[in-house]
Amino acid sequence: MKSIFRGMVVALAAWLLVPCADASESDDETRAVFAHLLKTHADSIVRVSFVIVSAYGGQEQRQESSVTGVIVDAAGLVLVPKLVVDPSFPGMSRMSADQKMSFKLESRDFRVYFAGQDQPFEAEALTTDADQGIAWLRITAANAKLLKPVDLKQRAGADPGTAYYVLERLEERYGNAPIVSWGVIQGSVSVPQQAHVGTGAAGLAFNAEGEVLGYVSVDFDESDSAATTTRQNPRMLLTSAARLASATQRAKSLLDSE
């Protein structure tokens, strides 16, 4: 009787412990992925501050803001969301011609903050790729030692169900510390463009091995239809790493043509 009871206790304990062991293993894996990504790529992640200037009817307002950027080329190219250099808001495309004439919205005064540096580097907007929702800044007088770009050739494909990771660099009040966010690819679309649809973080997406999967951007429906009153939620689109690398090469070629 005693042995039966002991057996039941052991079985119960084993049953209770199994999930705990799985969770712990999963946590360990996540910790390892985060540590690997931070070790491999954190030096490429910078904080970018900028000023948004808006003017309507002659009244001008300026607002300082900041986002995470990624060094993608040793020439000082910094990848940021397109909205950073070309700000807009949902519905802007439906402004009347008169409204557009008297409305101004632009970004300026870009500054790039590297970890451990107390002085920022000035940057300028180089170009944008509206299809991928990305833009490139160029640091005007960069310290070459600080420029540790992500190698876009180290890339991989993605499929629905793939988890992705995005590195961010926090604001100055948090000491510009790097953090890792994540998301998952939910499916694929072929219109309006070839892309994956994801949920989670936006930015340069890596897989667990640190290979580039592509760029996740927020896609607003800017169609001019009456259906916009029933606007759907913005979607997160991941465009492929190959496309990102190709576009970055073309962006870099603009430097040579200057």
Q: Which stretch binds another protein (CB under 8 A): 6-14, 18-26, 113-121, 208-216?
A: 113-121
Among 43, 48, 50, 205, the residue binding another protein under the rule CB under 8 A is 50
Among 3, 59, 96, 233, the residue binding another protein under the rule CB under 8 A is 59
Q: Does 108 bind another protein (CB under 8 A)?
A: yes
Supply the minimum distance, in Å, between the C-beta of residue 128 and another protein.
Answer: 5
Q: What is the dihedral of CA 24, 212, 194, 183, to 10 degrees?
A: 30
Element (H, E) at 104: strand 103-113
Supply the minimum distance, in Å, between the C-beta of residue 87 and another protein.
Answer: 11
Supply the minimum distance, in Å, between the C-beta of residue 89 and another protein.
Answer: 17
Q: Which stretch binds another protein (CB under 8 A): 69-77, 179-187, 199-207, 248-256?
A: 248-256
Q: Which residues of 91-123 are buried (b: 16+ CB within 10 A; e: fewer)?
A: eeeeeeeeeeeeeeeebeebbbbbeeeeebbeb
Cα distances from 227 to residues 16, 219, 233, in angstroms, run: 52, 17, 13
Query: Quick check: bond before 192 cis, omega within 30?
Result: yes
Q: Does 153 bind another protein (CB under 8 A)?
A: no
Cα distances from 35 to residues 61, 114, 181, in angstroms, run: 41, 19, 12
What number of CA atoms fall less than 13 Å from residue 12's CA on the CB side?
A: 6
Q: Does 211 bind another protein (CB under 8 A)?
A: no
Per the listing, tokens 């997160």 go with 236
Among 41, 47, 111, 196, the residue binding another protein under the rule CB under 8 A is 111
What tokens does 258 get? 């200057």
Q: Does 192 bind another protein (CB under 8 A)?
A: yes
* Interacting residues with another protein (CB under 8 A): 49-51, 55, 58-64, 85-86, 100-104, 108-109, 111, 118-120, 124-131, 135, 190-193, 223, 225, 227, 247, 250-251, 254
